[in-house]
A and B are shown apart, each in its own frame.
Chain A
Amino acid sequence: MTLTPEERDRYARQMGPGVLSEEGQLRLKNSTALVTRVGGMGGPASQTLTMAGVGRVIIAHGGDMISPDLNRQVLGSESVLGKPRAPHFGEYLKTMNRFVEIEAIDHEPDDEEAEQLATRCDIIVSCPPTFTERLRLNRAAVSAKIPFIDAAQWGMAGTLIVCKPGETACLQCAYPKAPPFEEFFPVVGGISAAIGAMAALEAIKILSGTGVVLFGKMLSYDGFAGRVDVVDMTRNPDCPCCGNTSPSDA
């Protein structure tokens, strides 16, 4: 597969010194990314991946759009209120880049489907609200030995953990036991966009082979306090999820 003249024109701003090489852009074109869910963080993440030219972007999100979603869910709009999110979000992404295939799943994958999806992907960008879903996606990524980016938010704070199964800590190394979940979590759209975009940037770097990836690190952005921390994550050799996982052969 090569880049067409139209694709070279589209990606002209992101190819060259300090950004992607032509080979890197081609690697993006030949990649598949799973982003789920595609609400506050997943929306900007999937939008960024689509615009960057990731060849296939698979999104998953169930349910209908409600008014409180519109403080952060950039793939939605007033016209989507009361309607299923996934098909509309998928159609919107298609309008952003005709060179990218978009696959929209109208529900959150269960354990089995997450494992199946992971075998079709080169990366998982995890943006759901609950630890249950996040740990499920983590397990699927570890099983498939593909990179996993965990994005999370609350209030004006967010975290990003970038995992390489078999080499770095996985999400369960960080949270051996799922913390309690607050159903009506507070969130300002700015942190959703920031964390989602940073997650996508890490994915772009991984898929294209560009730059220094935050593998094995947690980036904590506390927008309320105006503070950023980058922490070296420690892998748990007895982790029930990744303890027996060796690095990928890829």
Chain B
Amino acid sequence: MKITLVVTGRSYHLTKNIPSQLELDAGSGLGEAISTINDHLPTEQPLPQSCLIAVGGKHVGTVGTHPPTDLNDGDELVIIAPVAGG
């Protein structure tokens, strides 16, 4: 199945090699999606644990803390890296 991936916020410059459409096995969940994304990143720089995750416009948790979440073909996964500055 295919999902749309958006990575925004602070870490976008680390993610330029991640495709905007992610191919996953049917029945994959959020955990598999995060692993697939990290496969495109340097080993020493995976997605930060504090990145907020939204599936279909709904916040489900962070990269480090999220409940098991099913994904469906066509879902949009938005990963918002935390921003901080004043």
A154-B54 contact in complex given A222-B9, A232-B59, C-beta closer than 8 Å: no
> Smallest CB–CB gap between A165 and chain B, Å?
17
Within 8 A of A (CB), among B30-64: 48-50, 52, 54, 57-62, 64
A157-B83 contact in complex given A218-B52, A224-B12, C-beta closer than 8 Å: yes
Q: Is A152 located at the chain interface by the 8 A CB criterion?
A: yes
Within 8 A of B (CB), among A129-153: 129-131, 134, 152-153
What are the residues of chain B within 8 A of A13 when measuring CB–CB? none
Residue of A nearest to B67 (CB): A234
What are the residues of chain A within 8 A of B84 when measuring CB–CB? 129-131, 134, 152, 154, 179, 181-182, 185
Residue of A nearest to B55 (CB): A231
A residues within 8 Å of B by Cβ?
A: 37, 39-42, 127-131, 134, 152-155, 157-159, 169, 174-177, 179-182, 185-187, 218, 220, 222, 224-225, 227, 229-234
A to B CB contacts below 8 Å, 14 in the list:
A129-B85, A152-B82, A152-B83, A155-B10, A157-B9, A157-B12, A159-B80, A177-B50, A179-B82, A179-B84, A181-B84, A222-B12, A231-B80, A232-B54
B residues within 8 Å of A by Cβ?
A: 6, 8-10, 12, 48-50, 52, 54, 57-62, 64-65, 78, 80, 82-86
List the 9 closest pairs (A to B, CB-CB), nearest first. A129-B86, A179-B50, A185-B85, A154-B83, A222-B8, A231-B54, A179-B82, A39-B86, A152-B83
